[in-house]
Copies of this chain bind each other. A is one copy, B any other.
Amino acid sequence: MPQFMDVHHGMKGITAEQLREAHNADLAIEKEEKGVHFERAWADPESGTVYCLSAAPSADAVQRVHERAGHPADEVHPVPLSI
């Protein structure tokens, strides 16, 4: 399954609990989108940036899950190369 890195801006002050809640919301909703799985997430509370790594059939499928969870991504990049 292709991998995607998506980026959220404007999340200044995000806490560990809020990141966990947002990720859990994605996990609960991803079942509605065949083949989508959110694997990892990293947050920089100071700049308000959140990165999510997922496996999914398309960038649109990634975004649909984030939208239904209430936090659409500002960027969704396919990352076909990884180490």
Contacts and interface: CB of A to CB of B under 8 A. Distances in A.
A44 B14 contact: no
A81 B5 contact: no
A83 B40 contact: yes
Interface of A: 3, 5, 14-16, 19-20, 23, 40-47, 49, 51, 53, 77-83
Q: How many copies does the complex hold?
A: 2
Q: Which 6 A-B pairs have the closest CB atoms?
A: A42-B79, A43-B81, A44-B77, A41-B83, A42-B82, A23-B83
Contacts of A19: 81-83
A42 B53 contact: yes
A70 B17 CA distance: 38
